[in-house]
Amino acid sequence: MHLNFQKMTRIIFFVFIFLAAVVFSFWLLFRTDNPERNEKSIVRINGTKYEVELAKTLTEQKLGLSNRAELKETAGMLFVFPLVQSRDFHMRGMQFPLDFVWIRDGRVVGTTENARPASEIGFKVYPSPEKVDMVLEINAGEVENRKISVGDSMELVVK
């Protein structure tokens, strides 16, 4: 079988286009700046509704909100853990400060306000004040502005 130069060039061109489309599709699926990468839900806490991304898997939890430029005002990320235990969070890869709301059994058990990105203060670990099964990350200042405090109830409305 003998292919002429034009047919071979055309085949190589279409193979290249196909491979480029596959690579682009994987990039879209796995890029780290995609704000729509996780399942979404609503959290109600102290009279405020937050549209949150759920971080349930270890991969989602390790990535968290890192590599993003900002977070909408009433948005956040809710880390959902299968076991109640002490948790440590850090701000590596973050570009803006956050407040942490530490939750167990639907109740706030503590807050950490104005956790700064590691690029500003170096690597720092933020431990939970006690054992938790969820952690809500929201924009810095939300805990104070919305008067979120220990004992407040948290309702998760799965979409």
How many Cβ atoms from other residues are within 10 Å of residue 28's Cβ? 9
Average model confidence (pLDDT) across the chain: 87
Give the mean model confidence (pLDDT) for residues 133-139: 97
Say if residues 24 and 16 touch (Cβ distance below 8 Å).
no
Give the tens place of pLDDT for each residue, 39-91: 889 999 988 999 999 999 998 999 999 888 899 989 999 999 999 999 999 99
Give the mean model confidence (pLDDT) for residues 135-150: 96
Give the mean model confidence (pLDDT) for residues 113-119: 93
Question: Which of 76, 93, 94 is CA-nearest to residue 137?
Answer: 76
Say if residues 152 and 111 touch (Cβ distance below 8 Å).
no
Has residue 32 got a pLDDT over 50? no
Assign 34 a pLDDT band (cuts: 50, 70, 90). Answer: very low
How many Cβ atoms from other residues are within 10 Å of residue 154's Cβ? 20
Task: Record the tokens describing residue 142, joined without a space.
Answer: 């939300």
Pairwise CA distance, residues 72 & 51, whole Å: 9
